[in-house]
Amino acid sequence: MSPSVLTAPAKLTLSLRITGRRPDGYHLLDAEMVTLDLADRLVVEPGDGLIVADAGAGTAVDPTGPPATPGVPAGGDNLVMRALDLVGRRARVTLHKSIPAGAGLGGGSADAAAILRWAGFGDERRAAALGADVAFCLRGGRARVGGIGEIISPLDFEPRTFTLCPPPFGCSTAAVYRAWDELGGPVGPAGNDLEVAALVVEPRLAEVRDGLAEATGQRPRLAGSGSTWFVEGSYPAPGRRVAQTTPSLRVA
């Protein structure tokens, strides 16, 4: 097997409504998601194991130790390794991170989806078993997402530009959903039902939101469970990233 270089684009959740909760605890969603040009890069070659490269420095991941890159799970907990297990393949993967961890931009899901595409795996419902965003990241483009993330209804591609503002801290998706339940299931004020809960879990988000609002004159929206805030349009400034949507990754 010769080395393969894979692209793992981030996803942006433009709207997120929680429509129910299954008996097993999983939440049912009605969301609109798009693929961005912000992406991780994976190099897949013969061997076994995972190397995470952050800011140009590669460090081998010790399965028994802490993650080499903050916020990136190590060993079998990493979605790249779980994706390899799902398709029954072994490989040595070097993961070059550009998507911030814990930012609500689907970095881990995008990495897993890149491995599934590399392996020729297209079962979106089984992909969703790895994580709620993996099925959408496998297809890419723009779609309405339902169920627990496994129901993908493609929408026409729209070229759009967004300014992202990821703070230097992440949000735990599990903690945000738990807080949403404890708050009685509030409806989000800007199209994202998880926004109120995310602010309870991480109060520092309010300062980031208000700073982006002041800089752009827009009401920022929260990406998924956080921690990234975004507005539509291009507002380049230190600490912010301008990202554009990209067409579907899948060829029917």
Active site residues: 11, 133
Question: Is residue 152 within 8 Å of 145, Cβ to Cβ?
Answer: yes
Q: What are the backbone dihedrals phi and psi of residue 210, each rounded to the nearest 5 degrees, phi first?
A: -65, -35
Compute the half-sphere exposure of residue 241: CA atoms within 13 Å on the CB side of its CA.
19
How far is the C-alpha of 94 from the C-alpha of 200, rounded, in Å? 36
Question: Is residue 93 within 8 Å of 85, Cβ to Cβ?
Answer: no
Token pair, residue 43, equals 């190099």
How far is the C-alpha of 204 from the C-alpha of 220, rounded, in Å? 15
Residue 38 pairs in a beta bridge with none
